[in-house]
Structure 1
Amino acid sequence: MSTVLAAQKALIGRGFTGPVSVLIEDGRIAQVTEGATGGTANGLLTPGLVDIQVNGAFGADFAEIDEEGMRRIVRNLPSTGVTRFLPTLITADLTQLLDQARVVLAAVSTVNGTGAQSLGVHLEGPFLSTKRPGVHDPALMVAPTPERVDAMLELRDALRMVTLAPELPGGIEAVRRLTEAGVLVAVGHTDATGAETSHAADAGAGMITHLFNAQRGLGHREPGVPGVALVDDRYTLGLIADLAHVGADACRLVFRAAGDRVALVTDAVAAAGMPPGVYRLGGADVLLSDDGVPRSAEGTIAGSALTLDRAIRNMISIGVDPVTAFRAATIIPADTIGEPHMGRIEPGALADLVLWDDDLKPSKVWVEGKLVYDAATASPDTPLPPPREAAGQPL
């Protein structure tokens, strides 16, 4: 079965061009023709967005997911332009964490083909530094012994990414073993020095989890994690572009220093896409207040309520080149996670596509050539749950 999509403008490679027509056959892009005429849709056509760090959304937390919650996530993510996502699980007892991962994978298998597609799992913990815990529970953080790494690798190909602190005992060897097994290793929740951050890249680490947040900071003599990350071409920099985790000037700095190595991520929690209220993250309550930033009972930022389309608009609003901003949410994360057939409009790529309106909001979204979202006809066929009440003391 073949379909032709035509758009006034499209993101092709490193620029916008148009008009363009895209021939889709069997879920993949068969041909891209520039200069198309007749029947051309207004708006911008881009690859589908790829979010490689998301803890939950639309009222559902991956650590406590069920089939209904997963269905709600995959059906609603396309409204934000996301066609591929990597479920992320935060620190827990390792046995419990692996059980959570298996539940996520089982839930995904029941909803395939109904919306956005999962890429596997990302384990953000428990091999993290108690000095930089964020909202993770320091009591559950452990060193990456060979036995614990073996246990993680039992997830096999479903384990796509692990965030760890490389300065922990056994950390560099864990980076090496995970990388050799085909897992993307990200440096995060870490007190690593600049030298230790470089050593992690030598061992195969390829990403920084939420740059600037929960890591040793940038200094003019000790560059810490951000200082090395900004100049080391081996690292992709995960950036939570909600302008709360990282301020506007710092975001501009990151793009000016490493524009083609920035991957926009949401680090979204169950509060994303929801009204203010109490939601769950890794088994704990977090409060989404009117400022749009989820926080723990102690006031620590707990993930985000960001959506990836809004991250793009945020970056464009502060002066980041639109092509660069869209690439940071498409081809850069796709390549970083090892998916060369996603995040681009070219022959052979999966036909994951988004048509954007003049306000840069998703108008139509396709996954493997199948229309999964149309703003003109969208209806709440997967109603969202109301915010929950906090257990015990109010947050």
Structure 2
Amino acid sequence: MFHGNILTPDGWRLGEIAWEAGRISRISGEPVDPLGNAHPRILPGFIDLHVHGGGGADTMEGGEALATLARTHVRFGTTSLLATTMTAPEAEIRRALAAVDTYMQAPATDASRVLGVHLEGPYINPGKLGAQPAHARPGEIAEVDALCELAPIRLVTLAPELCGHGELIRHLTARGIRVQLGHTLGSYEEGVAALGHGACGFTHLFNAMTGLHHRKPGMVGAALAHADYAELIPDLQHVHPGAIRAALRCIPHLYAVTDSTAAAGMPDGDYRLGEQTVTKCLGGVRLADGTLAGSTLTMDQALRNLVQLGLSLADASSRLSRFPADFLGLADHGRLTKGAVADLVLLDDRLGLQAVVVEGRIIEGER
């Protein structure tokens, strides 16, 4: 049981929150403005739908990597995540997916919960790789179905302009898999058409996609004009604060991801990102040519960055918890209400992390 300023779907309450058998059993207290006191802030646990690695481990490594990255990110308030793959030869993707499935059958109990896989590539445009290795190719339904047999794929990033991808989007949507548009040279019109086929989001908005021009709106224009959901990396390196503010005005359920690499939670130095070496320095991660290659962002810092930009704590929290939960259709995650999964974070009045609870298990924070 925790006592403090509790963020519920109906607003802030100053009182107590309790849980039993991994579910919230009681929330008591009176309405309150948390700015008027120094009691802890109690928020839903953070849900990160784009995580490549952390703690020196990368999803593509398999083995103990999943446990390492999940134990790393729980220290920063992430209670659930999608293990995110890289563009790679099919055999390497298959090995990574099999490793995720093995881990999910016997997960670490002192770690973020792995909800499944975010397949980022290989079905992306080879002309917009960003930090992805050069193994991009169009997707085929038979191959995707075979990959789905290896692990629970919850989200796929693809470039909509590639041959056959309209049909692939419709097929994935029919299977209940969410599709985001990213690593794309597609036009505004191709983005709008993909949304019509069932795509429902955009991967790391603004990055690795055609930008906005007033006579050529591009994929960014399609997102700003039509998207209900999109993910964005709020590390203040990938996207200028002004662009973040523009996206917040346009996209109702813009949500935060880290796109974190093995370098997250680690000192400066060289790390792996799929088959590539990346270097952490000056708070970022880059390839040898200077290209941004994922991030070192953690979700607690993402929260503080959004508040620094002027969002209320409640609004920022929704973009780290409720919106990603809703995007995946998880009605009992990402909110503090009776019967919901007992995933929550305890913060001090400066938004420093004090404790994390995953399915009712208390994990002390290290901030």
Instruction: Give the TM-score range, shorter chain.
Output: over 0.9
* SS across alignment from 2:137: coil
* SS across alignment from 2:85: strand
- Structure 2 CA distance for partners of 1:14 and 1:256, relative to 1, 3 Å: farther
Corresponding position of 2:297 = 306
Corresponding position of 2:265 = 273
Tell me the amino acid that sits aligned with residue 56 of structure 1.
G
Corresponding position of 1:247 = 240
Per the normalisation by structure 2, the TM-score is 0.94
* Counterpart pick for 1:58 among 49, 55, 72: 55
Corresponding position of 1:263 = 255
Q: For residue 109 of structure 1, report the CA deviation from its aligned partner.
A: 3.2
Corresponding position of 1:171 = 165
* SS across alignment from 2:75: helix
> 2:71, 2:112 within 8 Å by CA — same for their partners in 1?
yes
Tell me the amino acid that sits aligned with residue 261 of structure 1.
H
> 2:133, 2:276 within 8 Å by CA — same for their partners in 1?
no
Corresponding position of 2:16 = 21
Give % identity: 37
Q: Distance in 2 between matches of 1:374 and 1:277?
A: 24
Q: Distance in 2 between matches of 1:229 and 1:365?
A: 33
Structure 1 residues 1-395: aligned runs within 5 Å: 4-7=1-4, 9-13=5-9, 15=11, 17-35=12-30, 42-67=39-64, 69-138=65-134, 140-155=135-150, 158-233=152-227, 235-258=228-251, 260-289=252-281, 291-375=282-366
Tell me the amino acid that sits aligned with residue 236 of structure 2.
L
1:294-316, CA deviations, whole angstroms, 9 ceiling, x for partnerless residues? Answer: 11112111000111111111111
- Structure 2 CA distance for partners of 1:36 and 1:325, relative to 1, 3 Å: closer
* Further displaced range: 198-207 or 17-26: 17-26
Instruction: Give the number of aligned pairs.
Output: 363
* SS across alignment from 2:39: strand
Q: Distance in 2 between matches of 1:102 and 1:316?
A: 38
> 2:161, 2:186 within 8 Å by CA — same for their partners in 1?
yes
Q: For residue 349 of structure 1, report the CA deviation from its aligned partner.
A: 0.8
- Structure 2 CA distance for partners of 1:96 and 1:256, relative to 1, 3 Å: same
1:169-213, CA deviations, whole angstroms, 9 ceiling, x for partnerless residues? Answer: 011111110111111111010111111111111111111000000
> 2:123, 2:136 within 8 Å by CA — same for their partners in 1?
yes
Q: For residue 36 of structure 1, report the CA deviation from its aligned partner.
A: 9.3
Q: Distance in 2 between matches of 1:375 and 1:57?
A: 15
Corresponding position of 1:392 = none
1:235-257, CA deviations, whole angstroms, 9 ceiling, x for partnerless residues? Answer: 41110001111011111111122
* SS across alignment from 1:225: helix
> 2:76, 2:365 within 8 Å by CA — same for their partners in 1?
no
- Structure 2 CA distance for partners of 1:343 and 1:168, relative to 1, 3 Å: same
* SS across alignment from 2:320: coil
Q: Distance in 1 between matches of 2:315 and 2:186?
A: 29
* SS across alignment from 2:199: coil
* SS across alignment from 2:88: coil
Tell me the amino acid that sits aligned with residue 92 of structure 1.
A
Q: For residue 74 of structure 1, report the CA deviation from its aligned partner.
A: 2.4
Q: Distance in 1 between matches of 2:119 and 2:303?
A: 25
- Structure 2 CA distance for partners of 1:192 and 1:365, relative to 1, 3 Å: same
1:240-290, CA deviations, whole angstroms, 9 ceiling, x for partnerless residues? Answer: 0011110111111111222x311100000000111110000012110111x
> 2:286, 2:293 within 8 Å by CA — same for their partners in 1?
yes
Tell me the amino acid that sits aligned with residue 209 of structure 1.
T
* SS across alignment from 2:355: strand
1:110-166, CA deviations, whole angstroms, 9 ceiling, x for partnerless residues? Answer: 33322210011111011000121101123x11111232222233236x111110011
Q: Distance in 2 between matches of 1:124 and 1:173?
A: 18
Unaligned runs of 5+ in 1: 377-395
Tell me the amino acid that sits aligned with residue 247 of structure 1.
H
* SS across alignment from 1:340: coil
Name the Cα RMSD after superposition.
Answer: 1.9
Tell me the amino acid that sits aligned with residue 162 of structure 1.
V
Q: Distance in 1 between matches of 2:309 and 2:322?
A: 21
Q: Distance in 2 between matches of 1:371 and 1:194?
A: 46
